[in-house]
Chains A and B, each alone.
Chain A
Amino acid sequence: MKNIKLTVNGEKFEEQIDNRLLLVDFLRDNLSLTGTHVGCTYEGVCGACTIHLDGDAVKSCMLLAVQADGHNITTVEGLSAEGSLSNLQQAFNDEHGLQCGYCTPGILMNMADFLTENPNPSDEQIRHGLIGNLCRCTGYVHIVRAVKKAAKMLKDGAREDRT
């Protein structure tokens, strides 16, 4: 067992947890932040569990919760304040960038990070950036459009996305 202190979506937590508890399970089960999803077993390929660790998009199923001690985590629930949507979230709504929504939080977290490094991405760059997120429903076409739109919204001076 270990005592960890971390910040999640701006809120401070102190918890006593098992060493082997996966970060994704900590977020979902201990903190009831069920927006982050589990889509594969041990392989860490699907990306549905993607969150931000100190601003970087990483797979929370490939981290132990104890590793997050002292760090800043953002999950999809922290992408925007209650009652509002970030540019990326709004763009996904506008462009029908989701269907079942299961892969969506992971994609939003990955793309939020991606856009900070690629403010003017081409379709090809977006598609390459999405390799770590599998989607079965959309065929990716609308997702690419949504990310493109979000990039434009950010460039046109829409309010900053929180990451």
Chain B
Amino acid sequence: MTSTKDSSSIEWLGERLARKEDLRLVTGKGKYLADIAMPGTLHAVFVRSEYAHANIIGIDLTEAESLPGVIAIYTGENIKDRINPMPQAIVQPNLSAKYPTFWPLAVGKVTFHGEPVALIIARDKYIAEDASELVLVDYEELPVVLDPEKALTRNSTVVHEKDGTNEIFSMTFTGGENEESQNSNEAEVNAIFDSAPVVVKERFKTHRTGLTPMEPRGVLCDWNESDGLTAYITTQRPHIDRLALSDILEISAEKVRVIAPRDQGGGFGVKAPFYRENIIIAYAAKSLGKPVRWIESRYESLMNVGQERDQINDLEIAADLEGNLLALRNEGIADNGVGTTGVYWGFVMPFLGAIELPNAYKWPKAHISLKVATTNKACLTPSRAFGHFPTRFALERCIDMVAHKIGMEASELRRKNLVDALPYTSVTNEYYDSGDFLKVWDTLVEKADVPAFRKRQSEALNENRYIGIGFGCGVELSGVASDLLVPMENQPGYGAATVRLDPRGKVQVFGGDAPGGQGHETTTAQVVASEFGIDPAAVVVTTGDTGTTPFGSGSIGARAGSYFVSAVADACRELKEKITRILAYDLKIEARAEHFEFTDGEVIYIGDRSKKSSFVSIVERIIMFPINLPENEVGGLDATAFFEAAKPMICFNADCCVVEVNVETGDFKILKWITTEDVGNVINPLVVDGQMHGAIVQGISNAVFEEFVYDDQGQQLTADFENYKLATAADVPNIDIHYATTPCPHTPLGTRGIGEGRPSSVPGALTNAVCDALMPLKIEITELPLRPNSIWEKIQQSKQT
């Protein structure tokens, strides 16, 4: 029941509409967490551990407490009997794992460099920092656990003693649920490998890197006896945070309100966990009866969050000489850090990464297993391409290596093995609902023109220039269905939206998720405008406030384009049913909703276009003048809809890049980056383009420039932007996007959620291009980061052999 296109003035779906958010953001009128002012606010600064692993012998607060302006100081000892420790069910997956016990401040010992040890509350943030220097902590150093493989051995020091092991989680993802069937599957896979004509086995390593939203975290809590706790948090998941705060601090849920500020400076997963800081700041506000504010410094941020990837994947592919993939075998080891972060506990990322490993290829058989190790490093926090950045790198590289071994074009080998009929269930039981992978792939390959490139490549080689082409692709989650989210995170996957019309024909939309720059105010407005035939300017979107919005699990996993806008469309359609019912009654005609068109601010009966009403007047009539209504009808126009896809949904993208490598220095330049996307029906191409650009550049920056480094004492060496290097505009290329979409059959608008997993195909595509350029030197790179230094070393090694 969408408006027919040929008679509407503007079809808002597919329109490159400039964003509504921009006006306030380009004029500096955005309101981020640090911009919210509350009279009487006190400022919080954390004292954080200087050691990676140490017992806390004592904490001397005397000097710090006596500094004028210091109001209170909390330590683990003085809060541990007053705050419930983690784990708490609300932020715990339904997965069997060794969940460490912890409080918001370290109790007894510290387990990573940067762990919060004390919290200082002062009148002024400068004074709070002065006081933090006066806190004296007496540590007794303990042996550090830093290597994930060593951590998993029997004689390793154990980080969380009560668990008796550093193996926080392990799983086999293939061969069914029980050990017997998994073992027999593994035996079958081994047999295939034993007899396969082509086998490539390699150890692929991805370093510790992740996302760093430009706005660090922050919490502002206010408490009064009457309303309870109001917590402003830089969070992607206000509704989950609210329940967690209620459970942990034992504040009855109706007295907890969490508000994610309307403007957030990026999330990318980093603001999705439930963090320790939320708990202790809320506790402080409640104890002191004054608003308490904590704004994270970039130093704290880099020390504590945004660290992800960090996996070893011992991956093998068996194939035949024609390039058919026969089997996949992978043993993953993830370095989890300490695991003390709610919702994900670090290991959920590699868990999903293993599930997504098979990617877009048909694997007759696979054996995929994972072990996750606890170490004395910051806990992994989700970062866009959640868990599968390393597994995609491993797989896409290995596929190229198989192609090289056979002597086949890597792009052709991929095409040969792409899933060609959907829906499809992968060997790890991941359901791919719809799409046309071959259409996406062929569109890319046409743009890439490999034969022409090979000609250019050989001409270049004659001039002693090394250019290369590399491919990669990614099946990405489009929203996360309850089927996956309930076991994985103990949370529902549905999208929910309240659509509320007012008597002036304006629309308010309420959603419980909390975006950080994805343009939801605009895309949502476009959807509503398209449904009701009105202008997007008439639509106002409210997100992230648990006091006013329906439940949402959060801005995660590309939920907006998949689940949220679907709920919005459904709610609009419910209202359109009611509007047309009453209008038909008023017009004294027998008609149903599909006989009406909502266009250009009017609701028109298609059978006789003279029978119509302006949108505003019929809406006003139903809300304000609900008399002479049909039987059993009541006034008001407000609907809340919940959308859950019957089956999990996906989107699909493919990348091709061309690079030139300077063999003298190993330095390389990306000459071209082309991508094709099946993002379903597009609401706003500007927004989608932007999501793709951003994701790809994040992928490049992660793969090449960024690395979190710990020294051999577990000291984090990269806690500022001088050392943790982000790609600047001068370091990354322009990106050429092409769309090869198929509408999603399971969403009301045919849209797909996009953008979350998008960076995952990048490291493989880029490394493949570099290796392709260096083919004459027979170099295969299996480790990230992809640095000129390491490329040059490989070149030197190849010269020696």
* Residue positions of A touching B, CB distance < 8 A: 18, 20-21, 28, 32-43, 45-46, 48, 75-77, 79-80, 85, 89, 92-94, 96, 98-105, 108, 123-124, 126-128, 130-131, 133-144
Question: What residues on B are CB-neighbors of A140 within 8 Å?
Answer: 693, 697, 729, 732
Q: How far is the CB of A51 from chain B (nearest CB, A)?
A: 10
Contact A48 B721 (CB under 8 A): no
With an 8 Å Cβ cutoff, the count of chain B residues facing the other chain is 57
> CB-nearest residue of chain A relative to B215?
A102
Question: What residues on B are CB-neighbors of A39 within 8 Å?
Answer: 214-216, 265, 298
Cα–Cα, bound, A137→B263 (Å): 14
Cα–Cα, bound, A123→B729 (Å): 10
Contact B30 A101 (CB under 8 A): yes
Question: What residues on B are CB-neighbors of A21 within 8 Å?
Answer: 126
Q: List 10 A-B contacts (CB under 8 A).
A: A38-B34, A41-B720, A43-B298, A89-B26, A93-B19, A99-B694, A102-B30, A102-B32, A133-B728, A142-B693
Contact A141 B126 (CB under 8 A): no
Contact A136 B26 (CB under 8 A): no
Contact A141 B214 (CB under 8 A): no
Contact B213 A100 (CB under 8 A): yes
Q: How far is the CB of B669 from chain A (nearest CB, A)?
A: 12
Cα–Cα, bound, A137→B519 (Å): 11
Cα–Cα, bound, A28→B730 (Å): 30
> CB-nearest residue of chain A relative to B735?
A141
With A100-B265, A102-B265 given, is the CB distance from A139 to B696 under 8 Å? Answer: yes
With A123-B734, A136-B694, A138-B693 given, is the CB distance from A100 to B266 under 8 Å? Answer: yes
Contact A85 B27 (CB under 8 A): yes
Cα–Cα, bound, A130→B34 (Å): 25
Cα–Cα, bound, A115→B722 (Å): 27
Question: What residues on A are CB-neighbors of B729 within 8 Å?
Answer: 126-128, 130-131, 133, 135, 140, 143-144
> CB-nearest residue of chain A relative to B721?
A45
- B23 CB contact (under 8 Å) in A93, A136, A139: A93
Q: Which of B298, B690, B732 has the most CB of A within 10 A?
A: B690
User: Is the C-beta of B18 less than 8 angstroms from some C-beta in chain A?
Assistant: yes
With A96-B689, A101-B265, A136-B212 given, is the CB distance from A41 to B26 under 8 Å? Answer: no
Question: What residues on A are CB-neighbors of B690 within 8 Å?
Answer: 96, 99, 137-139, 141-142
> CB-nearest residue of chain B relative to A132?
B728
Question: What residues on B are CB-neighbors of A101 within 8 Å?
Answer: 21-22, 25-26, 30, 263, 265, 517
> CB-nearest residue of chain B relative to A35?
B28
Contact A139 B214 (CB under 8 A): no
User: Is the C-beta of B35 less than 8 angstroms from some C-beta in chain A?
Assistant: yes
> CB-nearest residue of chain B relative to A143?
B729
Question: What residues on A are CB-neighbors of B23 within 8 Å?
Answer: 85, 93
With A105-B28, A131-B729 given, is the CB distance from A139 to B265 under 8 Å? Answer: no
Q: How far is the CB of A10 from chain B (nearest CB, A)?
A: 15
With A43-B722, A96-B690 given, is the CB distance from A137 to B730 under 8 Å? Answer: no
Contact A46 B214 (CB under 8 A): yes
Question: What residues on B are CB-neighbors of A96 within 8 Å?
Answer: 18-19, 686-687, 689-690
User: Is the C-beta of B447 less than 8 angstroms from some C-beta in chain A?
Assistant: no
Closest 9 CB pairs of A and B: A35-B28, A100-B517, A102-B265, A101-B25, A139-B697, A139-B693, A76-B28, A99-B517, A130-B729
Q: How far is the CB of A112 from chain B (nearest CB, A)?
A: 12
Q: How far is the CB of B526 from chain A (nearest CB, A)?
A: 14
Q: How far is the CB of A20 from chain B (nearest CB, A)?
A: 7
Interface residues of B in 713-768 (CB under 8 A from A): 720-722, 726, 728-730, 732, 734-735
Per-residue CB proximity of B319-340 to A under 8 Å, as 1/0?
0000000000000000000000
Question: What residues on B are CB-neighbors of A142 within 8 Å?
Answer: 686, 689-690, 693
Question: What residues on A are CB-neighbors of B28 within 8 Å?
Answer: 33-36, 75-77, 105
Question: What residues on B are CB-neighbors of A139 within 8 Å?
Answer: 690, 692-698, 732, 735
> CB-nearest residue of chain B relative to A124?
B730
Q: How far is the CB of A63 from chain B (nearest CB, A)?
A: 16
Per-residue CB proximity of B636-669 to A under 8 Å, as 1/0?
0000000000000000000000000000000000
Contact B214 A79 (CB under 8 A): no
Q: How far is the CB of B727 from chain A (nearest CB, A)?
A: 8
Contact A92 B720 (CB under 8 A): no
Contact A98 B22 (CB under 8 A): yes
User: Is the C-beta of B150 less than 8 angstroms from some C-beta in chain A?
Assistant: no
Q: How far is the CB of A29 from chain B (nearest CB, A)?
A: 9
Contact B686 A127 (CB under 8 A): no
Contact B214 A103 (CB under 8 A): yes
Q: A28-B34, A100-B213, A130-B729 are in contact. List 8 more A-B contacts (CB 8 A).
A: A32-B37, A39-B216, A45-B721, A98-B22, A99-B518, A102-B213, A108-B26, A138-B697
Cα–Cα, bound, A106→B21 (Å): 17
Contact B126 A18 (CB under 8 A): yes
- A136 CB contact (under 8 Å) in B34, B268, B518, B696: B268
Q: How far is the CB of B534 from chain A (nearest CB, A)?
A: 21
Cα–Cα, bound, A32→B693 (Å): 34
User: Is the C-beta of B297 less than 8 angstroms from some C-beta in chain A?
Assistant: yes
Question: What residues on B are CB-neighbors of A42 within 8 Å?
Answer: 299, 720
Cα–Cα, bound, A55→B27 (Å): 18
Cα–Cα, bound, A139→B732 (Å): 8
Question: What residues on A are CB-neighbors of B692 within 8 Å?
Answer: 139
> CB-nearest residue of chain A relative to B36?
A34
Question: What residues on B are CB-neighbors of A40 within 8 Å?
Answer: 298, 720-721
Question: What residues on A are CB-neighbors of B126 within 8 Å?
Answer: 18, 20-21
Question: What residues on B are CB-neighbors of A141 within 8 Å?
Answer: 689-690, 693, 697, 734-735
> CB-nearest residue of chain A relative to B29?
A35
Q: How far is the CB of B501 from chain A (nearest CB, A)?
A: 28
Question: What residues on B are CB-neighbors of A41 within 8 Å?
Answer: 297-299, 720
User: Is the C-beta of B516 less than 8 angstroms from some C-beta in chain A?
Assistant: yes
Question: What residues on A are CB-neighbors of B299 within 8 Å?
Answer: 41-42
Contact A98 B728 (CB under 8 A): no
Question: What residues on A are CB-neighbors of B32 within 8 Å?
Answer: 34, 37, 102
Cα–Cα, bound, A93→B26 (Å): 8
Contact A136 B722 (CB under 8 A): no
Question: What residues on A are CB-neighbors of B298 within 8 Å?
Answer: 39-41, 43, 46
Question: What residues on B are CB-neighbors of A46 within 8 Å?
Answer: 214, 298, 721
User: Is the C-beta of B264 less than 8 angstroms from some C-beta in chain A?
Assistant: yes
Question: What residues on B are CB-neighbors of A137 within 8 Å?
Answer: 214, 266, 517, 690, 694
Question: What residues on A are CB-neighbors of B689 within 8 Å?
Answer: 96, 141-142
Per-residue CB proximity of B9-28 to A under 8 Å, as 1/0?
00000000011011101111
Contact A102 B734 (CB under 8 A): no
> CB-nearest residue of chain A relative to B20?
A93
Cα–Cα, bound, A128→B732 (Å): 11
Cα–Cα, bound, A17→B721 (Å): 29
Question: What residues on A are CB-neighbors of B19 within 8 Å?
Answer: 93, 96
Q: Which of B25, B686, B722 has the most CB of A within 10 A?
A: B25
Q: Which of A20, A42, A75 has the most CB of B within 10 A?
A: A42
Interface residues of B in 696-720 (CB under 8 A from A): 696-698, 720
Question: What residues on A are CB-neighbors of B519 within 8 Å?
Answer: 99
User: Is the C-beta of B259 less than 8 angstroms from some C-beta in chain A?
Assistant: no
Contact B728 A130 (CB under 8 A): yes
- A98 CB contact (under 8 Å) in B25, B212, B268: B25
Contact A128 B698 (CB under 8 A): no
> CB-nearest residue of chain A relative to B35?
A34
Q: How far is the CB of A114 from chain B (nearest CB, A)?
A: 12
- B730 CB contact (under 8 Å) in A45, A75, A127: A127
User: Is the C-beta of B229 less than 8 angstroms from some C-beta in chain A?
Assistant: no
